[in-house]
Structure 1
């Protein structure tokens, strides 16, 4: 399937699902999850081409690159920017743990918690990771835990009343560009002369949260150089954890600067807290 075929398929999928979105939210239709990155841009413009009704939202985390926020405000003024009720730094204090690859409470708190009872459009792609390669274009569930995963047609065939089966806290996730490649995303955007965030031109392959636990070590180092204030704030959080008795003994003995570097590398830190969560049976919504 070439890019044009994929574009047509994505548009057809959106049009087939639109009535369900309107039934669940007559005023806004689809809820489009926007991040300012290339994939969410492709999703946004495909929805425009499909002519479906949608409202785009961008959930801020307090560690968003300022360049991304400025880009969105300038190029997508219709996107609603949703500020967090609590900064990620204060949330780490509340949970007594920093976000890690295995304990990704940050995504649960800031990205996956909104949109209950709505049909949400997301810009994930199978090519991005092994985990996402197992995702499908149509999923239902709660807080990211799918109860159905497949195509829209498969779901509608065995569901008599499509909307009635979704509870008030459930979500329907639709991924129109899930089978697109990165090359095709860029081909689509460049072919339509759609500008992108300048961070892509400065060496960034992804433009998510600053010091995201899922980012490569190289990207984290670049983040520290570009956004040193974020490092300072995380070190203050680690010092708070030390002062209040929530930090691992290794960090308490070595100090907040060491703790930050240990967290940055992911080595040991992630496993330690994963073991702590299991031992103490702490619920981090992940």
Structure 2
């Protein structure tokens, strides 16, 4: 489909799902998950074009780029900014472990808890990754259902009744859009500004030193936001001093920070940085 057809499809999906959203939250309708990035902007504006009822929320993590927060406050003043009860640094101490690519407790603590008991709009796209390519336009948290809206309609009565407590219905209106579609939509259709970090080389906008970012992105973050590195080194030292990190008996917090941003397992990083240096190639 070209972009015009994708826009029409997204609008139709939102309008079909609106009755479900109003059924669970008559006052606000959809719970729109906003981040300030290009995809959440596209999600926000396609919801506006559809004319559906929604309330946008942005869950802060304490490691949000200040440029993003300023952009959202200026361009999207109606978005509710939800401050965390505990900083991510203190949460790492509480959990006794750093967030990693394979253990992303940060997402669970600061992002995924929002929108329970509601129909939540999210800006994921199949093109983003192999994992997201398997996602569907309508899902029930906990993967109890995943499919198209037409499939959902067959089970809507039962599934809506089941939503409660920590369940939520996820709707992804732009799931079939490409990155090019998103930029064309923002620049040529709705004609709105975007966060300046994109113009400075950032491919994605998220938390500073996000475990899901690649190594080059983390290096860029360290250079731009040196306070984040200092804070994480302090956390790592605290974890070492309190006995929560002790493999290989390395008490150097800087060394462990370098491992944390390396995208390598600790054993692989240790072998590359320490063991390889001990080999005497003159023998």
The two structures have a TM-score, normalised by structure 1, of 0.91
Check the 8 A contact 1:30/1:54 in 2, yes or no: yes
Q: Is the 8 A contact 2:22 2:29 kept in 1?
A: yes
Contact 1:101 1:270 in 2 (8 A): no
Counterpart check, 1:175 vs 2:145: no
Q: Which residue of 2 aligns with 1:164?
A: 161
Displacement of 1:167 in angstroms is: 2.8
Aligned length: 268
> Given that residues 263 and 270 in structure 1 are in contact (C-alpha distance below 8 angstroms), is that contact kept between their aligned partners in structure 2?
no
Distance 1:166 1:270, change over 3 A: farther
Counterpart of 2:148 in structure 1 is 151
| CA gap 1:255/1:42 in 2 versus in 1, 3 angstroms | same
Residue 161 of structure 1: CA displacement? 4.5
User: Does the CA contact (< 8 Å) of 2:18 and 2:30 recur in 1?
Assistant: yes
Scaled by the length of structure 2, the TM-score of the pair is 0.92
> 2:150 & 2:187 partners in 1: Cα distance?
32
The residue that corresponds to 1:67 in the other structure is: 67
Kindly indicate whether the alpha-carbon contact (under 8 Å) linking 1:20 and 1:162 is maintained by their aligned counterparts in 2: no
Q: CA deviation at 1:235?
A: 0.2
| Structure 2 residue aligned with 1:45 | 45
Determine the structure 1 residue equivalent to 2:103: 103
Secondary structure of the structure 2 residue equivalent to 1:163: helix
Q: Which moved more, 1:252-261 or 1:1-10?
A: 252-261
User: Secondary structure of 1:146's partner?
Assistant: coil
Residues in 1 aligned to 2:268 and 2:34: alpha-carbon distance in whole angstroms: 31
* Structure 2: gaps spanning 5 or more residues: 270-283
Match of 2:131 in 1: 131
| 1:17 match | 17
SS of alignment partner, residue 78 of structure 1: coil
Q: 1:113 to 1:102 in 2, by over 3 A?
A: same
Q: How does 1:1-286 map to 2 (within 5 A)?
A: 1-141=1-141, 145-191=142-188, 192-250=190-248, 252-269=249-266
